Amino acid sequence: MTVWLPVLVPLVTGIATFALGEGRSKARAAVNLAGAALASGTVISLVVGAYSGTVRAGEVPLLPGLPLTMHGDLLGLLFSAVATVLWGVTLVYAIGYMDHARDRARFFGFFAWCIAAANGVALAADPLSLFLFYEILSLTTYPLVVHSGTPEALAAGRKYLYYALGGGAALLIGVAWLAAIAGPVRFTPGGALGALSGHETELRVIFGLLAGGFGVKAALVPLHGWLPGAMVAPAPVSSLLHAVAVVKAGVFGIIRLVNELYGPELATSLGVAQVLAVVAAVGIIFGSVVALRQDDLKRRLAYSTIAQLSYITLGTALCSPLAAAGALAHLAHHAVMKITMFFTAGSLAETLHVKTLSGLPGVARRMPITMTSFAVAAFALAGIPPLAGFASKWMLGAGAAEGGSVWALLVYVASGALALGYMVPILTASLREGNQPARTGTESDPRMLWPIVIVAILSVVFGVTAGMPGSPAHWAVTAIAPSFGGWTP
């Protein structure tokens, strides 16, 4: 039963939010925060269980021969923990950000449902169940993307749908086809398709379909087109969903696909992992380079996200244990780093109406704490030790070198240099002299300020404690190790 709670609690929270209606904002806030706390608690209890060896599982009959299955394994729980805990942080931020917005009940309701869907993706134990929640995630995020109702928002939403539903169609065929030739499969560390031989071509095509389907949300170039446009959504949406939940669901799907469905050995022997690696590498360079050119802050961050997500995809596709662990660790690290930056962008937009690089001069003086947090996250992203990004980048790079793919290592470090290139101008511009409205009281709404500080601190903590039990890096190593047959770093 516990394994269903991370899905059910946010689901019920969402229903309650809709039922409360637009008026009662205090009650709504209380319900949501309580829901987030409760959901986080259940995830933590599942984690504790998983670390001590008890993997909770559950299933519900659904389609003939294919029940809806869930299991609380360490791999899935990492994603689940990221999404759920950051949901709580984002709620505080969103309550501050959306103070003067409309349709807040709708917003918070669908927000909660997105987390429910994300947790479903995280804890699904077989491809069909994962696919189900994956599609639900697309649906529940749509109202959030178009929330403001402006023509740009609607256009962005339409583009998002094209991509998301197209990806979903590919996934449907892939999952159904796989079920047709392999019967019901569950995610198993190291791969679940061992018994299939003689179906090589089919397996390759299916991999392509599945990787493509997941690749849409994972912003694999050239399937990334929806992400920059989706930045028109309110900042809490961009932060949590497009930096944490939605995009991470895509890379998470790829991680499950390569490590626990096909397995590293099969993926490599079929040759599909290598192709995926090259595609991801292209995405890294493309995203980093295009980010350099963006004046709009959120678009810059969006392209950065495209590149960073491909870090994860590349690390997974290398099929080398340390790189795979690094990819999983980066899922968590990037989430906290990027969410800091999106929070900052939103805070700048709400408090100072600054949305572009050219509008930044003077901001550092006006909002020092916010920009310092941003700076911390930016340097973390660029891979400066001892921050979080360095830890996962080290694992990714070392894993690449270990696995004999030095080219991937060079891609990673090049991208790190490019990351400095697109992050530092934001800092330097903010440090210049400029005219910003005068300050009254705190530099911004405290509900928006504290979450930024908290997640920035997390970027530091995750990096400094990397390797110690409890840190995402260590967690990732423990979760990935079974897929590589008893590997230890």
Partner 1 sequence: MSLVVHLPALLIIAPLAGACASFVAGRRRAPYVALTVAAVNGTLALALAARVLAEGPWRYRIGGWGAPVGIDLVADGTAALFLVLSAAVGLAVTIYASAYFRSSDPAAYGHGLFWTLWLFMSTSLNGLFLTGDVFNVYVCIELVGISAVTLVTLSGGPDALRAGLRYLFASMLGAMTYLLGVALLYAAAGTLDMATLRQTLVADATAATGLAFMVAALVLKTALVPAHFWLPTAHASAPTPVSAALSALVVKGSYFVILRLLLDVAPPGYLGGVDIALGVLGSVAIVWGSVQALMQDRIKLLVAYSTVAQIGYLFLVFPLARAGGDVLALALGGALVHVISHGLAKAGLFLGAGSLITRFGHDRIADMAGAARALPVLALGVSLAGVTMMGLPPSGGFAAKWLLVSAALATGQWWWAVVLVIGGLLAAAYMFRLIRILLAGGDPELRPSASPLRTEWVPLALSAAAVMLVFAVPLIVRLAEAGTTLLAAGVTP
Partner 2 sequence: MTPLLPAGVGRLGFALDEVAVPYLFLFALIWVVSGLYTLVTTERGTRAHVFAYYLPSALGGIAVATAADAVSFYLCFALMALPAWGLITSSGTPEARRAGAIYLTLTAIGEALLLAALVMLATEAGAIHLDALAAAFGAAQHRDLIALLLLASIGLKIGTLPASGILPLSYTYTSAGPAAALAGASVKVGALAMVRLLPAGIMPEAWAHTVMLLGLATAFVAAVLGVLTTTPRAVLGYSSASQMGLVLIAAGVSLAEPSAVVLAHGAIVAFSLHHGLSKAALVLGDDVVSRLSGRARTVALAALVVPALALTGAPFTSGFVAKYALKDAVHALHGPVPEAVYALLAWTAVGTAALMLRFLTLVVAQPQARRSSGPAPAVFWGVVLVTGALAVWLWPAEWNVHAAESILSISSIWTATWPVLVAVAGALALRAAPGLRSRMAASVVPGDILVGAAPLVKAADRAIGTRPAPASPDTRKRATGISRALTAAEGRVVAWMVAATVFVVLALVFVAIVTR
Q: Which is nearer to partner 1, 130 or 306 (CB)?
A: 130
312 binds partner 1, rule: CB under 8 A: no
Tell me how far apart the alpha carbons of residues 222 and 430 are, in angstroms, rounded to a whole number. Answer: 32
Q: First CA to last CA across the chain, in angstroms? A: 34
Contact 266, 194 (CB under 8 A): yes
57 binds partner 1, rule: CB under 8 A: no
Amino acid in position 331: L
Positions in 364-393 near partner 1 (CB under 8 A) = none
Contact 226, 236 (CB under 8 A): no
Q: Which of 398, 434, 453, 482 is close enough to bind partner 2 by CB under 8 A?
A: 398
Give the angle subtended at the CA of 307 by the CAs of 168 and 216, to the nearest 5°.
5
Positions in 83-112 near partner 1 (CB under 8 A) = 102-103, 106
19 binds partner 1, rule: CB under 8 A: no
12 binds partner 1, rule: CB under 8 A: no
Long-range contacts of 159-162 (CB under 8 A, 24+ apart): 159/225, 159/226, 159/229, 159/230, 160/226, 160/229, 160/230, 162/226
292 binds partner 2, rule: CB under 8 A: yes
Question: Which does residue 158 bind out of partner 1, partner 2, none, counting CB within 5 to 8 angstroms by kind?
Answer: partner 1
Question: Which does residue 394 bind out of partner 2, partner 1, none, counting CB within 5 to 8 angstroms by kind?
Answer: partner 2
Which of 28-36, 76-84, 127-135, 476-484 is the region at the interface with partner 1 (rule: CB under 8 A)? 127-135
331 binds partner 2, rule: CB under 8 A: no
Positive or negative, the Cα torsion across 243, 246, 248, 251? negative
Six token digits for residue 398:
């070392």
Contact 327, 308 (CB under 8 A): no
Q: Which of 173, 285, 401, 453 is close enough to bind partner 2 by CB under 8 A?
A: 401
Q: Which is nearer to partner 2, 447 or 474 (CB)?
A: 474
Q: Which of 151, 197, 468, 486 is close enough to bind partner 2 by CB under 8 A?
A: 468
161 binds partner 1, rule: CB under 8 A: yes
Q: Which of 35, 72, 143, 191 is close enough to bind partner 1 by CB under 8 A?
A: 143
Tell me how far apart the alpha carbons of residues 294 and 290 are, in angstroms, rounded to a whole number. Answer: 7
Question: Which does residue 263 bind out of partner 2, partner 1, none, counting CB within 5 to 8 angstroms by kind?
Answer: none
- Residue 437 preceded by cis peptide, ω within 30: no
Which of 310-318, 350-358, 385-393, 445-453 is the region at the interface with partner 2 (rule: CB under 8 A)? 385-393
Question: Which does residue 417 bind out of partner 2, partner 1, none, counting CB within 5 to 8 angstroms by kind?
Answer: partner 2
Task: Mention every residue, 6+ apart, whose C-beta is less than 8 A from residue 296.
Answer: 231, 355, 356, 357
Task: Mention every residue, 6+ apart, whose C-beta is less than 8 A from residue 53.
Answer: none
Q: Which of 52, 195, 433, 435 is close enough to bind partner 2 by CB under 8 A?
A: 433
Tell me how far apart the alpha carbons of residues 264 and 484 are, in angstroms, rounded to a whole number. Answer: 8
Q: Which of 264, 397, 451, 472 is close enough to bind partner 2 by CB under 8 A?
A: 397
Q: Which is nearer to partner 1, 183 or 386 (CB)?
A: 183
Which of 56-64, 84-92, 388-396, 446-454 is the region at the interface with partner 1 (rule: CB under 8 A)? 56-64
Number of residues that bind partner 1 (CB under 8 A): 37
Residue count of the chain, please give it: 489
- Which residues sit at the interface with partner 1, rule CB under 8 A? 18, 60-65, 102-103, 106, 131-133, 135-136, 138-139, 142-143, 146, 148-150, 154, 157-158, 161, 165-166, 168-169, 172-173, 176-177, 179-180
- Which residues sit at the interface with partner 2, rule CB under 8 A? 289-290, 292-294, 322, 379, 383-386, 391, 394-395, 397-399, 401-402, 406, 409-410, 413-414, 416-418, 420-421, 424, 428, 431-433, 464-468, 473-474, 477, 488-489
